[in-house]
Amino acid sequence: MKPQQQDRAGLLYGFAAYGMWGLVPLFWPLLEPANAVEILAHRMVWSLAAVGLILLALRRWAWIRPLLREPRRLGLIAIAASVISVNWGLYIWGVNSGHVVETALGYFINPLVSIAFGVLLLRERLRPAQWAAVGVGALAVVVLSIGYGKLPWIALTLAFTFATYGLVKKRIGLGGLESLAAETAVQFLPALGFLVFLGARGDSTFGSGGAGHSALLASCGVITALPLICFGASAVRLPLSTIGMLQYIAPIFQFTLGLVVFHESMPPERWAGFALVWLALTLLTWDALHTSHRARRELADVAARAGLSPAGAASGSDAVPEAVAGAAAGVMPDVIPGAGPKTAPDAAPDAVPDAVPDLAPGTAPEKHGGSISGG
């Protein structure tokens, strides 16, 4: 595939992935009268089934046996599964309880939380524009707290749990589909046990709500896996800097749905808080583009001095610097693999593309990027 066609296809897959994550608030209300916990349990069970079928079709099982011999990685998978369970459950509850705008806020501020984690936990050094973005983001939380009359705890919990999830996933070093399969395998038995318990008590809506309702609950697996597949196809075709831009599509869609479809209120002080968040993200985006452009220019100069063509020496020159890439990893919970902060020199990049090699044969490895979202 020609580079131009590859980029066009990557953009289409990227828009599809983030578009689906952005529109997912329209799906969760369809599952009522099931409550958030029951929906979460069905998502866990049916996601494992969906991802398992995909891995079976791709014949990607070789990673399981080595993983079972590594207790440390298994422990990290259990932590990741626990954290993403909180994230998924709170997101579903937030949407179905009339807090769509605040859930969107959580994914807007997630890059700022990821950067803060990089500084506090990984001792990363930030550039002035990044410090400014973090400061503006902190001010936004203060303004929003005044607007809500309390801390925007739903947004903050979503942001912190997903940032933690991304941090743990970087240490696990599994591809996106493999990682999701491992995490949902941890979730499966507790989720299935809960559903059996609900059924025994007569409180389950699966079956009792009609065939259509049961089909919608079962489709939770597809709703989780399909954007992941599209993201993987996009990540192998696009540079990380482009993936970092596309990630904002999802919370923008969610925010718009909260206003237009769910008619949530936005008093002036909330608009002010969101404006500050968007200013912080603008600073991050500008810094990422500026640094990426400077890196390409410096690489071209080095190549010219060495007598090489810039194209031949510039593999990876589109990569966003680590602190910004870590921020890009935050939005959309399930996961942008390989985009989080560097935590261990021997950690394999968490690359969804590796899980879907047939989607983009012959694509260059330097195009890999990202994390996946779990909205």
**pLDDT above 90 as % of the chain:** 48
The three state secondary structure string of 190-252 is HHHHHHHHHHHHCCCCCCCCCHHHHHHHHCHHHHHHHHHHHHHHHHCCCCHHHHHHHCCHHHH
For the segment 164-216, what is each residue's pLDDT rounded down to a tens digit? 998 898 888 887 788 889 999 999 999 999 999 999 999 999 988 899 999 99
Amino acid 171: pLDDT? 86
Region 268-284 average pLDDT: 91
Burial 52-68 (b: 16+ CB within 10 A, else e): bebbeeeebeebeeebe
pLDDT band at 134 (very low <50, low <70, confident <90, very high): confident
pTM of the model: 0.78
- 244: CB partners within 8 A, 6+ apart: 285, 288, 320, 324, 325, 327, 328, 336, 339, 369
pLDDT over threshold 70, residue 335 = no
Amino acid 222: pLDDT? 93
pLDDT over threshold 60, residue 276 = yes
- Closest Cα to residue 154, out of 97, 195, 208? 97
Two tokens, residue 136: 């503006």
- Closest Cα to residue 351, out of 325, 369, 328? 369
Q: What is the mean pLDDT of the chain?
A: 80
pLDDT over threshold 60, residue 372 = no
For the segment 58-98, what is each residue's pLDDT rounded down to a tens digit? 898 899 999 999 999 999 999 999 999 999 999 999 999 99
Higher pLDDT, 375 or 214: 214
- Single-letter code of the amino acid located at 138: A
Amino acid 373: pLDDT? 47
